[in-house]
A and B are shown apart, each in its own frame.
Chain A
């Protein structure tokens, strides 16, 4: 436990990093996943291999990469390969245990939109698009998501399906994955600034842990559906002094991710 005050973003990053304990190979997405995975590498998952879509296997970033194409992911890495090789042999070939993604919109089954808000041909907001997220969601063994939770992001219907989650529910998703020979089993965790969600037998998000300082009212007012709650809802242990030190002094001294 700590008496040091922390922000909701710091709690989110710490909780996401802890979820990676025991994972072997992680494909690191742009944005928040980047800092969460780098924190995990320094804490709960020191032996985890970091894979970046830019073409790096076994990255050992000496500083937090601001982008996922930073030169620090190259120096000291195990292997630097072409992007064709990265996507074909490492991802499609089945070597990725966790694909760690961000999202602009998500629905209760973990389907993700990072393409547009509004109509595709005349969007009100043009978002970045897939990048590698679409193929990561299909080919990584499981998908972790980290995102801030709000009434704009946790929606009943996403405006565009960029990356498939549990489709219309677990039954349909399992059938389609089986018929299509997908390697991925879909999303397994969504970490937000309010709590930690896992997926139940119906393939639907269930809130298992609430972060300190967040209330159920915060959760309900930021979700467009009636959210499922765990029978015994946990409270996420707050960040330790060491986790906060790593974020503030080593990973993000400028506060780019945590403000």
Chain B
């Protein structure tokens, strides 16, 4: 293959993320592409539908920056810390009226599921199915709040289950430990629903800590969760998941998650943060420089924990 899939974050977002798109930046605590979220903010995308199981700080930042009109999610918060003020202020009654006639941003539209429901939606999208059944939602208010969650009879006459529709993002952005130039991507640690979100999407961007030779991928095919076949762009962006983490490379910057709690409660502080750390920063390398070597070094794991080596065997 040629080098054509390897792109800068600027070019990947410019080419593959469009106004009005449904965008999924997944990663369950682990491997969240903050670098992509920030680039989308810098390029001023508008009217995005943002899908993510756990709208984390990255979606709080994107919503506060005004890129989104709608949120599809299953758990809204700063995990282990508190709330997401940027998003909450766009949802709660006490903020602005729909239409934002007072000059503030309009109410954010929300479409809400449970975690299993979101995973099932991506799975249905990836498998080209009209719905996915699950044993959840019984006797709850969720199907009333979201009529897309529907009760169905088993066609085999053994009771009722709930169905959720497929979720097919226009573009899914996946952070990973490594990929080759063709986009064959390997992840270890928490897998979230990165694979399902990628297979369900029309366009796929993988953002990696490290670009490796094809031989590295082929030496351990069980670890490949996304094939280059479905990947449109490969962006090499070390520390691109900060302040989230990359298993084996750097820890979650919990200090930042704790600090965010104060920033997100105050709209002016949030907007000032966006200016200082996103709009006035020329890409991820500059962001990491600004963060400083000491802060970055402190995030290294406290020791190593290598996997054992397995022998796949040669069969010629």
Contacts and interface: CB of A to CB of B under 8 A. Distances in A.
* Chain A interface helix/strand/loop/mixed: loop
Contact of B119 (A84, A134, A179): A84
A30 B80 contact: yes
Contacts of A56: 190
Chain B interface bracket (under 10, 10 to 19, 20 to 34, 35 or more): 35 or more
Contacts of B305: 75-76
A118 B93 contact: yes
Interface stretch (A41-49, A125-133, A147-155, A200-208): A125-133
Contacts of B83: 128
Interface residues of A, number: 57
Contacts of A164: 138-140
Interface stretch (B191-199, B269-277, B283-291): B191-199
Contacts of A138: 135-136, 138
Q: Most chain-A CB neighbours within 10 Å: which of B136, B145, B251?
A: B136
B114 A133 contact: yes
B73 A129 contact: yes
A108 interface: no
A130 B74 contact: yes
Contact of A161 (B119, B141, B196, B301): B141
B75 A67 contact: no
A231 interface: no
Contacts of B137: 134
Contact of B93 (A74, A123, A132): A123
A170 B68 CA distance: 44
A170 to B, nearest CB: 14
Contacts of A66: 79-81, 252, 254, 257
Nearest to A92: B135
Closest 9 CB pairs of A and B: A69-B29, A122-B93, A131-B75, A67-B79, A67-B80, A135-B136, A130-B114, A128-B77, A87-B116
Given A55-B191, A67-B257, A84-B196, 14 more contacts: A54-B30, A70-B252, A74-B247, A82-B193, A83-B115, A83-B193, A123-B91, A126-B87, A127-B76, A129-B73, A130-B75, A131-B114, A132-B114, A132-B116
